[in-house]
Amino acid sequence: MSRPPREAPGADRALPGALIAGVTAAWRLGWQPADLVRHAARTHGNRAGRMMTDAIAAEMRAYAAGTVDEWWRGRLTALGATVWWRRDDTYLAEWAARHGTDQAAAAGCALRLTALLRALPRLEILCPPPGHARPSEPGTRSSVPGAHPSEPGVHADRRVLDKVQALLAKAESTEFPEEAEALTTRAQELMARHSLDSALLTARTGRTGDGPVGRRLPIDRPYESPKALLLGAVADANRCRAAWSRSLGFCTVVGFPADLDAVELLFTSLLVQATSALVHEEGDRARTRAFRRAFLASYAVRVGERLTEAAAAAEHRAAAETPGTDLLPVLAARDRAVEDAMTAMFPRLTGRRMSVSDRGGWLSGRAAADRADLGTRRPVR
């Protein structure tokens, strides 16, 4: 890295401070670290995302460690948000040298990010921002990427989630479809049953103080509409609700923590399966955007139907295996709590609508959804 100048122009000294102030304001608006980096990269490119990461690292220096939520610190580590530059007043020069550009380009990037931060909309506050951390209750932590250790309520058991993640990793890396199907089946069975076990735990203990929470999941380009449709279908089948923020590139999923854990892992797995099935479609039509969009939309609708049927069957099995426990009123109460939380967060939410124009893509996507493994073939012992 080239040596930065001893004295930086006034604007170059002021811009880092403006970025830091913008990040502080973003926390008050409900934004989280990954939200800001993602928004910057989607709007102005990957270099802007990296500069936003630096701005976050600089802003976090203002807080004592004990006042920052454990989940928040984990997200900073995942983003690689560290202060690598020598001085704030020479940051732009050092950033330019680090990324092979000049100070004018660095200043332009900083100006665009400052404007972006000033125009941020208000979001729902899903996690205590820096300076407002609260202690987590023992036994409520989750190892799912994106899960909030500070979320109240019963998360999916860490041992179960570790096993699920290992199974899904093997399923996504194997070259043999039969092996992938068997691994995914086992993983999804574990998730589905553990989610019901959480509801049974609530019924047995009479615990009523913990309510639904929200979690943001990214919806990546391309074909964002059918991907959001798929996430909504997975959420609905798992007693959660999803709201898509189209312009910001994420969905906010509302539900009880153990159900959110299941939704996150299941959505990721089904998205991999859908993408793999689409890649294996042959013919010129399969290469068109209309075909792919119709394929993924149809896949989402059919998977939603199958998940709903599987959830109903799993509830009947759980009720039969736990005599003396009236599960249905517990689930009904949880459904009402989720709906109330969703209405409070998104009072003007509208339904998901999507049109497609390729009949072949729709039929192929539905067939692929029928082949998708939802983990409903055998009960978990």
Question: 37-88: per-residue pLDDT in tens?
Answer: 999 999 999 999 999 999 999 999 999 988 998 889 999 999 999 999 999 9
Indicate if 101 and 171 belong to the same structural domain.
no
Indicate if 21 and 166 belong to the same structural domain.
no
Instruction: Write down the pLDDT at residue 368.
Output: 56
Instruction: Write down the pLDDT at residue 372.
Output: 57
* Entry pTM: 0.77
Picking from 118, 145, 174, the residue at the C-terminal end of a domain is 118
Which residues of the chain register pLDDT less than 70?
1-11, 134-156, 174-178, 180-189, 192, 202-203, 206-210, 282-286, 323-325, 349-381
Instruction: Write down the pLDDT at residue 88.
Output: 93
Indicate if 214 and 342 belong to the same structural domain.
yes
Indicate if 102 and 194 belong to the same structural domain.
no
Domain-located, residue 249: yes
Number of domains in the chain: 2
Give the burial string for 116-126 (b: 16+ CB within 10 Å, else e): bbeebeebebb
Domain-located, residue 138: no
Map tokens 């012992």 to a residue.
Answer: 381
Instruction: Write down the pLDDT at residue 45.
Output: 95
Domain-located, residue 77: yes
Indicate if 165 and 86 belong to the same structural domain.
no
Picking from 66, 93, 118, the residue at the C-terminal end of a domain is 118
Domain-located, residue 90: yes
Instruction: Write down the pLDDT at residue 127.
Output: 86
Q: Enumerate long-range contacts of 261-264, CB under 8 Å, 24 or more apart.
A: 261/142, 261/144, 261/147, 261/155, 261/156, 261/161, 261/191, 261/195, 262/156, 262/191, 262/192, 262/194, 262/195, 262/238, 263/231, 263/234, 263/235, 263/238, 264/144, 264/145, 264/146, 264/147, 264/215, 264/217
Indicate if 184 and 254 belong to the same structural domain.
yes
C-alpha distances in angstroms, 333 versus 199, 253, 257? 10, 18, 15
Cα–Cα distance, 342 to 240 (Å, whole number): 9
Indicate if 177 and 106 belong to the same structural domain.
no
Instruction: Write down the pLDDT at residue 137.
Output: 44
Picking from 86, 102, 118, the residue at the C-terminal end of a domain is 118
213 strand-pairing partners: 255
Indicate if 88 and 168 belong to the same structural domain.
no
Domain-located, residue 149: no
Indicate if 233 and 92 belong to the same structural domain.
no
Instruction: Write down the pLDDT at residue 325.
Output: 65
Cα–Cα distance, 354 to 225 (Å, whole number): 7
Instruction: Write down the pLDDT at residue 276.
Output: 80
Instruction: Write down the pLDDT at residue 105.
Output: 95
Indicate if 187 and 323 belong to the same structural domain.
yes
Instruction: Write down the pLDDT at residue 175.
Output: 66
Instruction: Write down the pLDDT at residue 138.
Output: 41
Q: Which domain holds residue 103?
A: 10-118
Indicate if 210 and 350 belong to the same structural domain.
yes
Instruction: Write down the pLDDT at residue 283.
Output: 65
Domain-located, residue 140: no
Indicate if 89 and 168 belong to the same structural domain.
no
Domain-located, residue 151: no
Domain-located, residue 268: yes
